[in-house]
Amino acid sequence: MADKATILVQLDTDPLPSVFDRVVAVDSGAEHIFSYGGITPQNVTALVHGCIFTRGMKDLHRTAIFVGGSDVAAGEAVVAAVKAALNPFRVSVMLDSNGSNTTAAAAVRAAARHVDLASAKSLVLGATGPVGQRVVRLLAQAGGHVRVGSRAKEKAEQVCAAVRAHVPDAKLEAVGVSNSTDGPVALEGRSLVIAAGAAKAVLLPKKIRDTCKTLKVAIDLNGVPPAGIEGIDLFDAGIDHAGTICYGAIGVGGAKMKLHKAAVAKLFTANNLVLDVEEIYALALQM
Ligand SMILES: NC(=O)c1ccc[n+]([C@@H]2O[C@H](COP(=O)([O-])OP(=O)(O)OC[C@H]3O[C@@H](n4cnc5c(N)ncnc54)[C@H](OP(=O)(O)O)[C@@H]3O)[C@@H](O)[C@H]2O)c1
């Protein structure tokens, strides 16, 4: 008998399920996509049971769950509830709220082509957002020293605490970066900077970047001009600008899209996968 069709159940914490995630699901080869919005830990259990009590064991890997939405913390809470509801049977689950996991994994993968992350000293700007937090987590897991940048140092300290819950031996330092004096201090001795600031926010002006003589790689994830790191072009993908290898948002975005599709496709290879940022980064390393 022919294989059953693949079904991706898109659980979105926003009221309207993301069209972006649905288009990528189609392009990843999912044959049917069931999209639900307004998902919370309180209303998700019946949807999960619909996934696991319908198909026999041998077909369970052909149903999978994708958790998205603009709020990563809400997505994490839904994934926890999904895991609790996956009993006694299981289907695979992926979390990518706001594209945070696939974007962070693609950015860190790009950095790893040029610096040894185990010893690199990095600075993450805009580190309190969904993408920045995941970037910090991956860099910390790789073993290097990471400065965690925010306009408000207390917010950076909260991110450090959250990352330490996943990476207890993380070498993290919270830094406040809110004026032209802070920038050079935060950059001092760094070989890698990744800017994950909000759209249109300039986090690193060129004159401050030029004060750092140790910088080898600069990655800017802001896709809406002006650039988050002044002087980086949106399309830069490993371009050397005066001795610093640069990536812009679209330069990283191509790899992010490939990774997103590969991760969705991987969901249908087994019924017990949980793809969070670490698993998605591991996939990026294989690509
Ligand atoms: N290239 C890709 O494929 C791709 C995919 C997804 C997302 N992105 C981009 O990645 C970036 C990060 O996404 P996100 O969702 O994590 O961002 P976000 O939550 O919108 O913002 C990240 C951080 O930027 C800081 N920020 C906000 N407004 C600012 C301002 N006016 N000036 C300076 N800093 C400001 C805030 O940190 P503090 O308040 O702590 O300073 C905030 O936590 C965005 O630019 C997004 O568009 C790119």
Tell the residue nearest (CA) to atom 6 of ligand 1.
Answer: 99
Q: Where are the domains of the chain?
A: 7-95, 103-252
Distance 195 CA to ligand 1 centre (A): 8
Q: Which CATH architecture has domain 103-252?
A: 3-Layer(aba) Sandwich (3.40)
Pocket of ligand 1 (CB under 6 A): 98-99, 103, 126, 128-132, 150-152, 155, 196-199, 201, 203, 221-223, 249, 252-253, 256
- pLDDT tens for each residue of 192-225: 999 999 999 999 999 999 999 999 999 999 999 9
Percent of the chain with pLDDT over 90: 94
Distance 98 CA to ligand 1 centre (A): 11
Cis before 226 (ω within 30): yes
Percent of the chain with pLDDT over 70: 100
Residue 105 has what pLDDT? Answer: 98
Rounded distance, CA 36 to CA 13, Å?
9
**Would the CA dihedral through 279, 133, 47, 13 be positive or negative?**
negative
Closest approach atom of ligand 1 to CA 130: 16
Distance 205 CA to ligand 1 centre (A): 16
Plot region of 95 (φ>0 → left; ψ -120 to 50 → alpha; else → beta): beta
* pLDDT over 90 at 80, yes or no: yes
Distance 201 CA to ligand 1 centre (A): 8
Beta-strand ranges (E) seen in the chain are 7-12, 32-36, 63-68, 92-95, 121-125, 145-150, 171-176, 192-195, 217-220, 237-241, 244-247, 274-275
**pTM of the predicted protein model:** 0.96
Topology annotation, domain 7-95:
Rossmann fold (3.40.50)
Rounded distance, CA 181 to CA 176, Å?
10
Tell the residue nearest (CA) to atom 45 of ligand 1.
Answer: 222
* pLDDT over 90 at 56, yes or no: no
Distance 132 CA to ligand 1 centre (A): 8
- pLDDT tens for each residue of 1-29: 678 999 999 999 999 999 999 999 999 99
Residue 8 has what pLDDT? Answer: 98
Taking residues 67-81, report their average pLDDT. Answer: 95
Which of 71, 108, 128, 277 to mutate for ligand 1's pocket (most ligand atoms within 8 Å of CB)?
128
Tell the residue nearest (CA) to atom 18 of ligand 1.
Answer: 198
Closest approach atom of ligand 1 to CA 249: 1
